[in-house]
Amino acid sequence: MWYLNEERRLLQKTFRSYAQKRVRPLALEMEDNDASSREALLEMGKLGMFTMPVAESCGGTGPDYISWGLLLEELGKESATFGFLALLRQVFNGPMSAACSEEQIRKYVIPAVNGEILMGLAGNEPAGGNDLMEYQTKAVRDGDDWIINGGKVLVTQADEVDVFMVIALTRDQIDFTTMQGLDIFFVPTSDPGFSVGHIEHKVGLNGSRTGSVYFDNCRVSESDRIPNPWGILMGFGPELSGYAALALGGAESMIAKTADYLKNRIQMGRSLWDTHQAARHDLAKLQMEVYNFRNALYGHLANRNCGIHDSLEAGALKAATGPLMEKVASECMLLMGGTGVIHETGIERYYRDAKALQIACFSDKTFVDTVAGSL
Amino acid sequence: MNIAVCIKSVPDPEFYDKITLDPQTKRLVRDGIPAVIGEADTHALEAALRLKEELGGEITVVSMGPPAARDQLMEALAMGADRAFLISDRKVGGADSLATSYTLSMLLKKTGTYDVILAGNESADGSTAHVPSQLGVWMGASHAANAVDVSWDQGIVVTRKFESGLGRYRLKTPCVIGVTGAANEVRFANVRTILAAKNKPLVIYSAADLEDLDENYLGLKGSPSQNGEVETMESSKQCVMITGTESEIAQKLADILRQSAVRKEEA
């Protein structure tokens, strides 16, 4: 691969080993019991796996987005959900590194990078994710503190994180000229006013423990208000290409499993691989799509290493994630027959995860209109 | 404490089903099979890292193998070793365990003086479990194989496993220890350590770089044991339907099992 060098090969080998030894045994447990991945995620942080591509001033090892892609690709091979949760670390760390105060970087960002705390985002409200004016969660100034009241829905890892970034209105109206009226606060989940509501049952991404959270007079200090909240909101965009790395890993894993099945499924003395050219070609066509997808992804990440952070390109890759994963899962299930639809085979899970990934971190539908707006 | 760890580059066990034997050379055909550090060697390295964490010092990793074995030395550096040496030369190729342990001992003598030398108890491919003890003899050092625990208690303490139980020994340094997979849980390399690996010294020697080598103990020519005839085992599955009444089926099944057992014992 053109994007691999000795250092990245070493990283890739370690990521693969971690994914196979830690994530593989956890994947089915997360799927079946919505089991927590918290310990494994914190361990990843301690192993330095969230230092990429974070700036050194924020506890990272510098901006190598290709190594970050390799990490997510390997995790995606074992579990799209686990990979998604690992991806969220950078979705948060990236914008936080740029938008937080030095004190906040010391208090929240560096511990999050090092796996000492798990950070979350409490953004969505029933009125909708995009219409910020409709948000009901409000923060009111009280001396040097802020008092937060309200609630959020569809929050990832609702009952697992240590600190939430909470989006709240601080005025009756958001002034889009001065960008005042909306703020983001760090709220520790140990706050006595914080509580967790219902954990949802979803079509896919099981184990991400999506649920509702409530803030009842949660008190945080002014120093926990992020000075540049729009830097956070606008900063998520470039990180969305990480989704494509998850899809790439998932697709590679499904194709490898299916090829292995076809080559070892013997009927009347010969393998399905040898007797069914159509099956071979169906799988080869998927593999060709994966080649192109891989080049598009790592080309994009190489650009990011050069300082080019194109949110539209990143979003386009994100929007291609679900459809690729869904198509490969669908075809592989078909090629594997009965084995393909069995839960433990681990392919039908991707079929459902694909749908959830199309909605997570901005729906693909919303994103298409963003592209339309750029034309 | 100066610690040395001997490692071997071996085929990745994930690909064992794709490895074949060359009928002419009687060696494994490794083309296209990725290499890894031998499983037991990773436990030896982990034991070294733990000793270093407790006592300080330096970890040197040594290996003998083709130039590509450099990758496994880099992996060891990425795990936390401090420097690495590889001897790679056709003259030392095809070595049995005696010639291997001799060459490694000369490489170790060339690269420093060590308090503790750790090695995987046995390699994943040859599996002779000879090298650690032979190395101890070549180095004139105390040595212990089958170690299931390596620790420090005012000196090196090794727990060895025997068929009848465990034995605990204090070893005088310098010492050589054959570490088994039961000794510890191997850590994952830390990203920061991986990124630091490229700045650590990794030297590749040829046979000419090692002084006073006795050619009688080098490579295939210096190996008293040579491979005999080898053949690839064909495994096949056969399904036999047993019919009859329940008691007849049970009787036939018992007969088959009994015959299978007899054949195994005779073999």
- Same domain, residue pair A205 and A297: no
Is A266 inside any structural domain?
A: yes
Is A206 inside any structural domain?
A: yes
- Same domain, residue pair B260 and B183: no
Question: Rounded to whole angstroms, how far apart are CA atoms A127 and A278?
Answer: 49
B189·A14 Cβ contact <8 A:
yes
Write down the pLDDT at residue B220: 87
Nearest CA in chain A to B72: A10
- Same domain, residue pair A98 and A206: no
- Same domain, residue pair B156 and B246: no
- Same domain, residue pair A81 and A62: yes
Contact A21, A82 (CB under 8 A): no
pLDDT in single tens digits along all 375 residues of chain A: 899 999 999 999 999 999 999 999 999 999 999 989 999 999 999 999 999 999 999 999 998 999 999 999 999 999 999 999 999 999 999 999 999 999 999 999 999 999 999 999 999 998 866 778 888 999 999 999 999 999 999 999 999 999 999 999 999 888 888 879 999 999 999 999 999 999 999 999 999 999 999 999 999 999 999 999 999 988 888 888 999 999 999 999 999 999 999 999 998 899 999 999 999 999 999 999 999 999 999 999 999 999 998 889 998 999 999 999 999 999 999 999 999 999 999 999 999 999 999 988 878 888 888 889 999
> What percent of chain B has pLDDT above 70?
95
Question: Rounded to whole angstroms, how far apart are CA atoms B221 and B95?
Answer: 8
B78·A18 Cβ contact <8 A:
no
Residues of chain B positioned with their CB less than 8 A from the CB of A7: 194-195, 197-198
Domain stops at, among A175, A202, A233: A233
Average confidence (pLDDT) over B122-150: 90
A7·B189 Cβ contact <8 A:
no
- Same domain, residue pair B141 and B258: no
A114 touching chain B per CB within 8 A = no
B81 touching chain A per CB within 8 A = no
Is B186 inside any structural domain?
A: yes
- Same domain, residue pair A92 and A143: no
Residues in chain A: 375
A6 touching chain B per CB within 8 A = yes
A61·B191 Cβ contact <8 A:
yes
DSSP code of residue A192:
T
CATH number for the domain spanning A106: value is 1.10.540.10
- Same domain, residue pair A261 and A276: yes
Average confidence (pLDDT) over B168-191: 96
A56 touching chain B per CB within 8 A = no
A14·B188 Cβ contact <8 A:
yes
Residues of chain A positioned with their CB less than 8 A from the CB of B189: 10, 14, 47
B75 touching chain A per CB within 8 A = yes
Considering only residues A14 and B127, tell me which one the structure prediction assigns the higher pLDDT.
A14
CATH number for the domain spanning A150: value is 2.40.110.10
- Same domain, residue pair B55 and B170: yes
Write down the pLDDT at residue B21: 80
B190 touching chain A per CB within 8 A = yes
Q: Pairing relation of β-strands A266-267 and A163-169?
A: unpaired
Domain stops at, among A201, A233, A265: A233
B46 touching chain A per CB within 8 A = no
Write down the pLDDT at residue B260: 78
Residues of chain B positioned with their CB less than 8 A from the CB of A9: 71
- What letters, b where the CB count within 10 A reaches 16 and e where it falls short, cover B85-99? bbbbbebbebbbbbb
Domain stops at, among A181, A206, A233: A233
Confidence of residue B18 (pLDDT cuts 50, 70, 90): confident
Residue A178 burial by Cβ neighbours in a 10 Å radius (0-12, 13-18, 19+): exposed
Nearest CA in chain B to A71: B191
For residue A363, give the 3-state DSSP assignment: coil
Distance from CA of B73 to the nearest CA of A (A): 11
Domain count across chain B: 2
Confidence of residue B211 (pLDDT cuts 50, 70, 90): confident
A7·B188 Cβ contact <8 A:
no
Task: Give the residue carrying structure tokens 């591509």.
Answer: A53
Contact B115, B123 (CB under 8 A): no
Is B262 inside any structural domain?
A: yes
For residue A181, give the 3-state DSSP assignment: coil
Distance from CA of B70 to the nearest CA of A (A): 11
- Same domain, residue pair B104 and B142: yes
CATH number for the domain spanning B213: value is 3.40.50.620
Is A39 inside any structural domain?
A: yes
A192-221 tens-digit pLDDT: 999 999 999 999 999 999 999 999 999 999
Nearest CA in chain A to B70: A6
Q: Is the dihedral of CA B161, B167, B170, B173 positive or negative?
A: negative
- Same domain, residue pair A216 and A252: no
Residues of chain A positioned with their CB less than 8 A from the CB of B195: 7, 61
- Same domain, residue pair A128 and A19: no
- Same domain, residue pair B151 and B248: no
A47·B197 Cβ contact <8 A:
no
Nearest CA in chain B to A13: B75
A7 touching chain B per CB within 8 A = yes
Contact A298, A69 (CB under 8 A): yes
Write down the pLDDT at residue B263: 55
Is B224 inside any structural domain?
A: no
Contact A310, A300 (CB under 8 A): yes
Note if the bond before A229 is cis, omega within 30 degrees: no
Comparing CB atoms, the residue among B188, B192, B195 nearest residue A7 is B195
- Same domain, residue pair A61 and A13: yes
Show the domain range for A180.
120-233
- Same domain, residue pair A169 and A248: no
Show the domain range for B26.
2-217
Is A65 inside any structural domain?
A: yes
Q: Which residues contact A133 (CB under 8 A, 6 or more apart)?
A: A173, A174
Residue in A4, A14, A90 to test binding to B, most B beta-carbons within 10 Å: A14
Write down the pLDDT at residue B267: 46
A11 touching chain B per CB within 8 A = yes
Is A1 inside any structural domain?
A: no
Distance from CA of A332 to the nearest CA of B (A): 23
B198·A14 Cβ contact <8 A:
no
- Same domain, residue pair B141 and B251: no
B71-114 tens-digit pLDDT: 999 999 999 999 999 999 999 888 888 999 999 999 999 999 99
Write down the pLDDT at residue B129: 85
Is A246 inside any structural domain?
A: yes
Mean pLDDT of chain B: 90
Comparing CB atoms, the residue among A14, A21, A46 nearest residue B194 is A14
A13·B197 Cβ contact <8 A:
no
Is B231 inside any structural domain?
A: no
- Same domain, residue pair A212 and A272: no
**What is the rounded end-to-end Cα distance, in angstroms, of chain A?**
34
Domain count across chain A: 3
Question: Rounded to whole angstroms, how far apart are CA atoms A264 and A186?
Answer: 53
- Same domain, residue pair A105 and A157: no
- Same domain, residue pair A252 and A361: yes
Can you read off the two tokens belonging to residue A94? Answer: 């990236």
Residues of chain A positioned with their CB less than 8 A from the CB of B75: 10, 13
A263 touching chain B per CB within 8 A = no
Write down the pLDDT at residue A368: 86
Residue in B17, B37, B191 to test binding to A, most A beta-carbons within 10 Å: B191
- Same domain, residue pair B60 and B8: yes
